[in-house]
Amino acid sequence: MKNKVALITGVTGQDGAYLSEFLLKKGYEVHGIKRRSSLFNTDRIDHLYQDPHNDNINFFLHYGDLTDSTNLTRIIQEVQPDEIYNLAAMSHVHVSFEMPEYTANADGIGTLRLLEAIRLLGMEKKTRIYQASTSELYGKVQEVPQTEKTPFYPRSPYAVAKMYAYWITVNYREAYGIYACNGILFNHESPIRGETFVTRKITRATSKIALGLQDKIYLGNLDAQRDWGHAKDYIRMMWMILQADEPEDWVIATGKTTPVRDFVKMCFSHVGVELEFKGTGPDEKGYIKSCGNPKYQLEIGKEVIAVDPKYFRPTEVDLLIGDATKAKEKLGWIPKYDLPALVDDMMSSDIKLMEQQQYLKDAGYEIKNYFE
Ligand code: NDP
Ligand code: GDR
């Protein structure tokens, strides 16, 4: 029997990388769409690289972009995928306020381009498509916990674009009988999470502070509450969604929510440090209260957390907490990671990464700083 063929947009991102690995292990032939960039952008999937000159390879990359319908249509025609996972997006909520038009084009119309390609190529009965929808659709709190039936109230250009993508997916399912599904995924993180999302920003900075490579972290809204899961659990669910008998829309979440401030405390606690917060709003600061790990020489009373209002968003999503009962009951999804296990995975990985930086610094090499 011929192996199934999957096409992943956003293959170089966090979810694209984990999903590629997962599908390859399942025996799929995997095709990914990557953007042309002036530097290598395949860091997260380099371990999956196969020399294209060899026989029997099953992982292929194609240049492409969600803003280019001719390119997408040609790739789909060539690849003839059984399953498309549309993970590509300008995925940063804060940045979407700076680039609203591009975000609408890539995240909203990009989804339409894929659905139209399936229709124009007459592949409605062959190709199933997964749309990466988001808990950001819920935006301003209407009810908690949020389910598949909770009304949407998007609060950013990103969420508004994703709302178009959500409904066009539903519409093409109903209008043309395409097996098209939305996974409404709540925040999911991992050691390969993008460095400018809050969890990874915190795990990287905490590791650097512990090792004496950085003084403090500047953050935005510490009161925001998110339902954080592990990306590995969530990409498994993407695949399960496309294997269901009927195409439907699904909430994927842990059902627990945590303020950003508490996430910071958990990360510091991983390196044996207890934090104390004082002040409110933009004047809030976090100090080292105690340090129980002799490996890290941290001064008691040192200020390590400060708020920089530049990270506040013009409109914020205050509270997300999802109810994944439907996915658990109908598809048997069981997440393996809880929040402490996620923090442990991310912190262990970033400590290792920063220890490498420390060796380089000790050997006289300059350490790069990034715009976070
Ligand atoms: P990432 O930001 O890590 O990855 C996004 C991917 O999309 C990257 O491969 C990026 O390429 C690619 N991309 C961006 N713009 C375009 C474009 N115009 N054309 C083609 N490719 C493009 O996101 P995640 O892996 O975290 O998320 C995957 C999807 O799930 C996204 O759609 C996101 O909006 C959505 N989502 C994510 C959640 C999360 O918590 N992680 C929760 C709910 C939804 P490059 O590497 O070149 O930048
Ligand atoms: P989010 O993730 O906007 O939920 O979108 P992010 O990690 O960017 O923000 C989470 C919350 O933390 C607050 N915050 C900060 N955020 C960032 N990035 N940097 C900071 O310094 C900071 N300080 C506080 C934010 O205000 C926010 O409330 C993610 C993305 O992956 C989307 O693509 C996805 O759809 C949703 O999750 C579900």
Residue 54 vs residue 65, higher pLDDT: 65
Compute the distance from residue 156 Cα to the ligand 1 centre, in Å.
Answer: 16
Query: What pLDDT, in 10s, does the model give residues 239-266?
Result: 999 999 999 999 999 999 999 999 999 9
Give residue 274's pLDDT. 97
CB 335 within 8 A of CB 233: yes
Ligand nearest to the CA of 103: 1
Residue 297 vs residue 149, higher pLDDT: 149
Q: Is the C-beta atom of 324 inside 6 A of ligand 1?
A: no
Q: Is the C-beta atom of 132 inside 6 A of ligand 1?
A: yes
Give residue 370's pLDDT. 74
pLDDT at 367 over 70: yes
Largest Cα separation within the chain, whole Å, is 66
Letter string b/e over residues 64-74, b meaning 16 or more CB atoms within 10 A of that residue's CB: bbbeebebbbe
Stretch 128-148: mean pLDDT: 97
DSSP letters spanning 315-330: S---B--B--HHHHHH
Ligand nearest to the CA of 104: 1
pLDDT at 280 over 90: yes
Residue 66 to residue 61: CA distance in whole angstroms: 15
Residue 15 to residue 234: CA distance in whole angstroms: 8
- The residues carrying an active-site annotation are 134, 136, 158
pLDDT at 359 over 70: yes
Q: Is the C-beta atom of 271 inside 6 A of ligand 1?
A: no
Q: Is the C-beta atom of 187 inside 6 A of ligand 1?
A: yes
Compute the distance from residue 111 Cα to the ligand 2 centre, in Å.
Answer: 22
273-278, strands of its sheet edge to edge: 217-219, 303-307, 285-291, 273-278
Compute the distance from residue 197 Cα to the ligand 2 centre, in Å.
Answer: 5
Query: What pLDDT, in 10s, does the model give residues 9-30?
Result: 999 999 999 999 999 999 999 9
Give residue 372's pLDDT. 67
Q: Is the C-beta atom of 232 inside 6 A of ligand 1?
A: no
Give residue 52's pLDDT. 86
Ligand nearest to the CA of 193: 1
What is the residue with the minimal CA distance to atom 4 of ligand 1? 13
260-270 helix and 339-362 helix, angle to the nearest 10 degrees: 60
Backbone angles phi, psi at 291, to 5 degrees: -135, 110
In sequence order, which residues have a C-beta less than 8 Å from that of residue 78 and are 6 or more positions away? none
Q: How confident is the model at residue 366 (pLDDT cuts 50, 70, 90)?
A: confident
Stretch 363-368: mean pLDDT: 88
Q: Is the C-beta atom of 182 inside 6 A of ligand 2?
A: no
Residue 156 to residue 268: CA distance in whole angstroms: 31
Mean pLDDT, rounded, of the chain: 97
- Composition of the chain by helix, strand, coil, percent to 5: 40, 20, 40
Stretch 98-116: mean pLDDT: 98
User: What is the token pair recorded at 353?
Assistant: 């990464």
pLDDT at 136 over 70: yes
User: What is the token pair recorded at 154?
Assistant: 């998007």
Query: What pLDDT, in 10s, does the model give residues 192-245?
Result: 999 999 999 999 999 999 999 999 999 999 999 999 999 999 999 999 999 999
Give residue 2's pLDDT. 81
Using a pLDDT cut of 70, give the percent of the chain over it.
99
Task: Pick from 95, 193, 226, 305 the residue to mutate for probing ligand 2's pocket: most ligand atoms within 8 Å of its CB.
Answer: 226
Stretch 81-107: mean pLDDT: 98
Using a pLDDT cut of 90, give the percent of the chain over it.
95
Compute the CA torsion angle 315, 153, 194, 169 (nearest 10 deg). Answer: -150
